[in-house]
Amino acid sequence: MIEKISYLFGFVGGLGMFLYGMHIMADGMQKTAGGKMQHFLSKITDNRVTAIMLGALITAIIQSSGATTVMVVGFVSAGVLTLVQAVGVIMGANIGTTITAWVVSIGTIGESMELLKPGFYAPVLIGIGAGLIIFTKSDKKKTIGEILIGLGMLFMGLDLMAGNIKPFTTLPIFSEAFRVLGGNPILGIIVGIVVTALMQSSSASVGILQTLAFNGVVTTSAAIYITLGQNIGSCVTAIISSMGSSRTAKRAAAIHLLFNAIGAIVFGILGFVVFSINTNLANHTINAVEISLFHTLFNFTMTSLLFPFANLLVKLSGMIVIGKNDEVVEEAKEPVLQLDERVLLSPAFAVQTANNEVARMGNIALKSLKAAISAINTKSIDDIETVAKCEKTLDDMQEALTKFLIKVDNLSLSESQKKHINNLFNMVTDIERVGDHADNISENAKYMIDNNLEFSDLGKEDLAEISKDSIEAFEIAINASAGDALRAVRKVNKLEDKVDMLEDEFREKHIERLSKGDCHPQSGIAFLDIISNLERISDHATNIVGYVKNEI
């Protein structure tokens, strides 16, 4: 009895090592590939093939089709991806998840090939990984160490599971259970759905099935039906995530479910017919590699079959999720965050989300600044209202982004990512202050309109020059990280020096005009306040490029 309990504990421990190893390995891979993943959003186009390839790549990296789909639900909810684009990414996610099955199948190579068995090298991988983490200072090498430790723990966990389940494989309950499951497609699919839904990971449930197959207790028919159910069960995470979200987000989760449900129906019927005719094949003992082959065949086949029908899947999702259409995000609402917190499932995506939102905040501040200067020149009430709306949005974004950045900072990030998040904190503050200065300029414009004031021709020329340089400095600053950063830093610093000089020069000239009576005193006060705000804006631009320079 004690011995059986010991085997049970060993199996549970092996499962824990397998799951934790997969988590560590995926986390390390995300850090390593973070830069590439950050181009994900910018590369998503209406090209469905590209979307499929990117979905497969991202899922292969983060080792979870469920996590990828949850993030896609968030993208769609925010209006960043359309439902048609989401179809391609979801199809790709199903292909990408097959990588995990192949990793597991490699880990279950037979005892006769001991030297080729990954578990044989697992302790060495963990040792090398630990050495890299403890004795190196390089952020990149530490991340590689994490990947090696995760891979080693994954293979050791597989060995533990396989070794501790082996004594039980001769029990009649196993052969009887798989005989029943193999003869009943619906029951087999339900078991696959339930196990995967409970574990919240198709990769983990497939890994357990492959471990059982390695010990020779799983029949082909049972494995096929259970695998089909596991694919459906992987949709549960996204479905739960979409609850309480927009109708469009629910439709994205429904598309994922439709894809795998249609596949289960097609392959389930086909399998039932084939296994009814060929009972020897149905009762044949399947191995881990063959499960991986089927898993891959299923996802590639269903992607090929449903690829031309993406629009139909979108329509079907609309029939399943009934309600008011909210797919189009109204521009007037100016959502505070374009992407929701589902992206926190992937640190690399979370960092890029934060980066994108800070850039968007910068562009809103730039829009506000240009409108404020326009209000001074044209006396436009519409421009003043634009500044007021932008200022409200910037205040809301600062609050929301600060909270979001705190959550991102608490994720498992590399040192360079942590440094970038810290810089984003500072950028948010500087950008919001630029919005405040734009609002101050706008208030001066309203004051001049209300009091029917005008600047002298020389005052207008001076204001045009300093505002042009100040706006240019800020515009270059918020786009610095997207181009030649060093060139941007040099340009902004040069402009900031020029604005400082102009502010001093124009202040003296304007005071001189005031003393001569060439300018109205009330206009003079407004002019001095405006150029002071423009000078402060150039200072904030210098701060922003300074943060960018710190990361070069």
Q: If you ran DSSP here, which 8-state letter would residue 323 be given?
A: S
Between the CA of residue 106 and those of 98, 113, 289, 295, 299, what are the distances in Å?
A: 13, 11, 8, 15, 20
Distance from C-alpha of 350 to C-alpha of 123, rounded to nearest angstrom:
33
pLDDT value of residue 416: 82
Q: Which residues of the chain have pLDDT under 50?
A: 38, 42, 111-113, 115-116, 326-335
Distance from C-alpha of 151 to C-alpha of 130, rounded to nearest angstrom:
12
Distance from C-alpha of 278 to C-alpha of 283, rounded to nearest angstrom:
9
What CATH number is given for 341-550 in this structure? 1.20.58.220
pTM of the model: 0.67
The pLDDT tens digits for 397-406 are 999 899 999 9
Taking the chain, what is the end-to-end CA distance rounded to the nearest angstrom? 62
pLDDT value of residue 80: 63
**Structure token pair of residue 493:** 């610093």
Distance from C-alpha of 518 to C-alpha of 516, rounded to nearest angstrom:
5
Q: Which residues, 6+ apart, have CB-to-CB distance to 293 below 8 Å?
A: none
Between the CA of residue 467 and those of 22, 214, 371, 500, what are the distances in Å?
A: 55, 72, 12, 12
pLDDT value of residue 245: 66
Q: Which helix (H) or strand (E) holds 18?
A: helix 2-32
- 485-500 burial code (b ≥16 CB/10 A, e <16): beebbebbbebbebbe
**Structure token pair of residue 506:** 């124009």
**Structure token pair of residue 146:** 């994490």
Q: Which residues, 6+ apart, have CB-to-CB distance to 376 below 8 Å?
A: 441, 444, 445, 448, 463, 530
Please provide the size of the chain in residues: 552
In terms of Cβ atoms closer than 10 Å to its own Cβ (0-12, 13-18, 19+), residue 42 is exposed
Q: Which residues, 6+ apart, have CB-to-CB distance to 223 below 8 Å?
A: 209, 213, 286, 290, 291, 294
* 314 and 83 Cβ atoms separated by less than 8 Å: yes
In terms of Cβ atoms closer than 10 Å to its own Cβ (0-12, 13-18, 19+), residue 68 is buried
pLDDT value of residue 321: 83
pLDDT value of residue 115: 47
* 44 and 92 Cβ atoms separated by less than 8 Å: no
Which amino acid is located at 106 in the chain?
A: I
Domain residue ranges in the chain: 1-38+98-168, 59-94+170-329, 341-550
pLDDT value of residue 546: 92
Number of H helices, E strands in the chain: 24, 0
Nearest Cα to Cα of residue 157 among 292, 4, 13: 13
Which amino acid is located at 214 in the chain?
A: F
